[in-house]
Structure 1
Amino acid sequence: MSEMEVTVIKEYGVVHLRNALTPAEQKTMFDEVKPKVRCVSKNPGIFHASSGEPGSPHRNATLTALGDALFSRCAEAVTAELSAEEIAAEPSLKRLGDAASGANPPSVREVTGAAYPKGATMANHSDLDRPLYTMSVAVGDACEFTVGKRTTRPKPNERSGRPVTIQMMSGDAVYFDGGGVPHEVARIIPDTAPAYFKRNPPAGVARVSVLFREAC
């Protein structure tokens, strides 16, 4: 597997972590969510994969452990890339700094996702009127993921301006404030999925995006 590489889009507090998951970890995540994946139209199909505290009947221990590991990897990469002052100045990055220092370890509480059929997109939007720190990881075909483009009806907390497009490959992670930073899936790039996905994809599905969140 290629080594992890990090890019930080400082104006939005967005982190792109390339090769965040090994091929084996990608397959593990895919196997855990695959039974929940459904596509019934040309639009992304939303699904729930895990929620609750340890011991909850709706909690998937494999997925939450993987989510905690992703937060930790992202935190370590960011603290190695940026100064303490840069991290402290941006709320979403400060969350990662606190995770890296041990002051506030990662604690994933919810895992949801979206299954994209071939040719699907997700319109530009932000999720809430408050911060919603999200770790997004996908398996399957790559996509063009754009952050920072102004929405048609901005919420008071929206952070928009210069749009930035990330090519997000299978196994990459993007960490961002989904509440305040507008984001969209502009395009699915055909025939870019890894071999394990191509061998046995869910019916009609080209890409599965999994979202890890600590609290909602």
Structure 2
Amino acid sequence: MEVNIIKQYGVVHLKGALTLKEQESLFNEVKDNVRGVGNYPGTSHASSGPPGSSHRNATLHTLGELLFTRSAEAVVSSLTPSEISSSPSLARLGSLASGSIPPNVQNVTCATYKAGSTMVNHCDLDRPLYTMSVAVGDSCTFTVGLKTPRPHKNENSGTPIDILMSSGDAIYFDGGSVPHCVSAIIPGTAPEYYVKNKPKNNVVRISVLFREPC
């Protein structure tokens, strides 16, 4: 696994976070819930609620919290304490690594893309929303930092940075404060397991989103 930390936006890119076997397991957990809508991402619920809830898939929450932990370990091994404290989203990972605030994935959703789909540049909320995005299927260009037309006071924007997000990659970021978009899907880049079992509605990419409470 390779790690790329974009300090100015508090973004952590875990390249190859999941093995092919782990990707396929995740794909099998969510593929029956996905849907595609025109040229925009379709969205679907995958899991939520407290342990034991009928709407909760414990396997997904366990995976999400593992990836939050992997991101935290990468941050504390790569950055100085002052660099970590300079960003609220990196500071969140610092508190996770220290054990003071354990990972707490409360909601898991899927964003699904057809061939040629894009996701417009946006922030999810007007407050922090710590998010782990995990890709399965075709690669995409994931852009962070591009200023939105009507920024909230908490928006953290500047020079946009493109990230090549391949199947099995995970990106941790503050979806409420950092503008983000999917500007392109790269056709023909999905792993063999995905091509052989492509979900309905010609969905070529699934982004599984693990979120902590906001």
Q: Same fold (TM over 0.5)?
A: yes
1:49-102 CA-partner distances (Å, limit 9, x unpaired): 000111111110010000011001111111111111211221100111111111
Give yes or no for the alignment of 1:8 onto 2:25: no
Give yes or no for the alignment of 1:137 onto 2:140: no
| In 2, Cα distance between equivalents of 1:53 and 1:25 | 24
CA RMSD of aligned residues (A): 0.9
Match of 2:57 among 55, 60, 80: 60
Give yes or no for the alignment of 1:110 onto 2:116: no
| In 1, Cα distance between equivalents of 2:203 and 2:138 | 9
Structure 1 stretches (4+) deviating beyond 6 angstroms?
A: none
| In 2, Cα distance between equivalents of 1:182 and 1:50 | 25
Match of 1:51 among 32, 48, 53: 48
TM-score, normalisation: structure 2: 0.97
Matches within 5 A, 1:6-155: 6-155=3-152
| In 2, Cα distance between equivalents of 1:43 and 1:88 | 36
- Structure 1: runs of 5+ lacking an equivalent: none
- Structure 1 position 5, deviation (Å): 0.9
| In 2, Cα distance between equivalents of 1:34 and 1:101 | 35
Aligned to 2:172: 175
- Structure 2: runs of 5+ lacking an equivalent: none
Contact 2:142–2:181 (CA<8 Å) still a contact in 1?
Answer: yes
| In 2, Cα distance between equivalents of 1:92 and 1:40 | 31
1:173-193 CA-partner distances (Å, limit 9, x unpaired): 111110010000000001011
- Structure 1 position 22, deviation (Å): 1.4
| In 1, Cα distance between equivalents of 2:94 and 2:110 | 26
- Structure 1 position 40, deviation (Å): 3.8
Q: Secondary structure at the match of 2:9?
A: coil
Give yes or no for the alignment of 1:212 onto 2:207: no
1:32-60 CA-partner distances (Å, limit 9, x unpaired): 11110011423211000000111111110
Q: Secondary structure at the match of 2:156?
A: coil
TM-score, normalisation: structure 1: 0.96
Matched residue type, 1:192: T
